[in-house]
Amino acid sequence: MPFQLRDEHGAARAVAYLMLAAAAYTSVTGVLMQLGAPVAEVIAVAVSSVAFLVIGLVCLRRPKSLPRLFWLAVPFLSAGAVTGLNFATQDTSTGSQLFYLWPLLYAASFLSRPMVAVTVAAISAGHALVAFSFMDRTHAVNDWIAITVAVTMTAIVVVSLVERNTRLRDVLEIQAASDSLTGVANRRAFDERLARTVEAARAGGQPVALVMIDVDHFKTINDTWGHAVGDHALRTVADALREAASGDDHLVARLGGDEFAVLMRAGPLTALGYAEQARALIATTEDLPSGPPRLSIGIAVLPDHATTADELQRVADTALYQAKAGGRGRSTLAQHPAEHDAAAYY
């Protein structure tokens, strides 16, 4: 995406530290050390220092108060500020040009490739303005070309490193949230998603179904046919649970051993239909010497059977135990709390 911001928190910290450092630097070098300079020049630098300080404090203390567009405009505002200060002080030295590195590194670290390219163009144009204003033409052309090539090569290297790091981080995040045997989500990812989904559902008034699944007599499969067949059976179950899912609202997870869970935005009837569809898919398996795995399934729905994430999981577990106690190989929908209380009373 051309206007993507990778890390708003990191961007806010980067801008805050830069602005605070710039405020201190310009106050010392542009005001205190230039008291004999023209008044207009000193006033311009002093105003810039105050602006840097204010922006830095806002970015540090209240970054959310700034519009998203600000973070996209930061490299251009910074390049413009560097150009303005260099022009005001008529400074064409290498030291003054090094300040262009900050907007370049910011864009390369937090923005997309198109934005980096525009930042490079802005830096090149800004330096050209200063160079051609205060240097002879030959030196200005040479200096402008050198700076443009340098920032372009720097941008290419930094963007490549950042994108490589992002790819590696994405792979690690996927691995950290996935079960290595079946490829579905692991317990950690399931717990995090369950809490978020229940909170969002309660706020929006939408139902959430939790389907708990156990592979019947899985220990017998392992003991009789070996762990390789047992692993194959688990992968078969996971594949069927994924295939039966109708959209991105389904999360299939392996909680451990032969226990799976599916979280979905659905009511009781839809959840029951999903469970039977998964069971039907597994029944078509022909490449397991142990035969298709049989499943015991318990289903609970928020808000029908529970009001919190912990309660939803507890009620779904209870329904699963009822399915196993009733002969296994079946799906059981949790009782409504009122029905459950009445049954306990009698």
Q: What is the pLDDT of residue 26?
A: 77
Interior CA angle at 271 toward 270 and 275, to 5°?
115
Q: What is the pLDDT of residue 33?
A: 67
Whether the per-residue pLDDT at 3 is higher than 70: the answer is no
Q: What is the pLDDT of residue 346?
A: 34
Mean pLDDT throughout 294-313? 93
Q: What is the pLDDT of residue 35?
A: 66
What's at 302, amino acid-wise? L
**Which of 126, 149, 176 is the endpoint of a domain?**
176
Q: Comparing 212 with 169, which gets the higher pLDDT? A: 212
Q: What is the pLDDT of residues 319-339, one digit of tens each?
A: 999 999 988 989 999 987 645
Residue 195 and residue 324 share a domain = yes
Domain extent for 242: 187-345
Q: What is the pLDDT of residues 70-91, one digit of tens each?
A: 888 989 988 998 898 788 878 8
Q: Comparing 186 with 26, which gets the higher pLDDT? A: 186
Give me the half-sphere count of Cα atoms (radius 13 Å) on the Cβ side of residue 324.
14
Residue 240 and residue 152 share a domain = no
Residue 139 and residue 195 share a domain = no
Residues 115 and 107 sit within 8 Å (Cβ to Cβ): yes
Mean pLDDT throughout 38-49? 76
SS (H, E, C) the chain: CCCCECCHHHHHHHHHHHHHHHHHHHHHHHHHHHCCCCHHHHHHHHHHHHHHHHHHHHHHHCHHHCCHHHHHHHHHHHHHHHHHHHHHHCCCCHHHHHHHHHHHHHHHHHECHHHHHHHHHHHHHHHHHHHHHHCCHHHHHHHHHHHHHHHHHHHHHHHHHHHHHHHHHHHHHHHHHECCCCCCECHHHHHHHHHHHHHHHHHHCCCEEEEEEEECCHHHHHHHHCHHHHHHHHHHHHHHHHHHCCCCCCEEEEEECCEEEEEECCCHHHHHHHHHHHHHHHHCCCCCCCCCCCEEEEEEEECCCCCCHHHHHHHHHHHHHHHHHCCCCCEEECCCHHHHHHHHHC
Q: Comparing 339 with 312, which gets the higher pLDDT? A: 312
Mean pLDDT throughout 2-11? 75
Which residue carries 């998203």 as its tokens?
A: 68
Query: Does the residue 181 lie in any domain?
Result: no
Query: Does the residue 1 lie in any domain?
Result: no
User: Cβ atoms within 10 A of the Cβ of 207, count?
Assistant: 16
Residue 146 and residue 66 share a domain = yes
Mean pLDDT throughout 230-257? 89
User: Cβ atoms within 10 A of the Cβ of 108, count?
Assistant: 24
Burial class (CB in 10 A: 0-12, 13-18, 19+), 57: middle
**Which of 176, 199, 232 is the endpoint of a domain?**
176
Task: Region of 209 please: left (phi>0), alpha (psi -120 to 50) or beta.
Answer: beta
Query: Does the residue 2 lie in any domain?
Result: no
Mean pLDDT throughout 208-231? 93
Residue 240 and residue 111 share a domain = no
Q: What is the pLDDT of residue 91?
A: 86
Q: What is the pLDDT of residue 76?
A: 92
Q: What is the pLDDT of residue 37?
A: 67
Question: Percentage of residues in the chain with pLDDT exceeding 90?
Answer: 53
Q: What is the pLDDT of residue 343?
A: 44
Q: What is the pLDDT of residue 155?
A: 93
Query: Does the residue 310 lie in any domain?
Result: yes
User: Cβ atoms within 10 A of the Cβ of 215, count?
Assistant: 21
Whether the per-residue pLDDT at 66 is higher than 90: the answer is no
Residue 329 and residue 250 share a domain = yes
Which residue carries 């405020």 as its tokens?
A: 23
Q: What is the pLDDT of residue 344?
A: 40
CA distance 177 to 325: 32
Does this model's pTM top 0.85?
no
Query: Does the residue 93 lie in any domain?
Result: yes
Residue 199 and residue 62 share a domain = no
Mean pLDDT throughout 292-301? 94
CA distance 299 to 296: 10
Whether the per-residue pLDDT at 261 is higher than 90: the answer is yes
Structure tokens at 60: 């540090």
CA distance 297 to 244: 14
Residue 169 and residue 23 share a domain = yes
Whether the per-residue pLDDT at 341 is higher than 60: the answer is no
Mean pLDDT throughout 245-255? 83
Whether the per-residue pLDDT at 50 is higher than 90: the answer is no
CA distance 342 to 323: 20
Whether the ω angle into residue 303 lies within 30 degrees of 0, i.e. cis, is yes
Q: What is the pLDDT of residue 21?
A: 85
Residue 210 and residue 74 share a domain = no
**Which of 155, 176, 197 is the endpoint of a domain?**
176
User: Mean pLDDT, the chain, as a whole number?
Assistant: 87
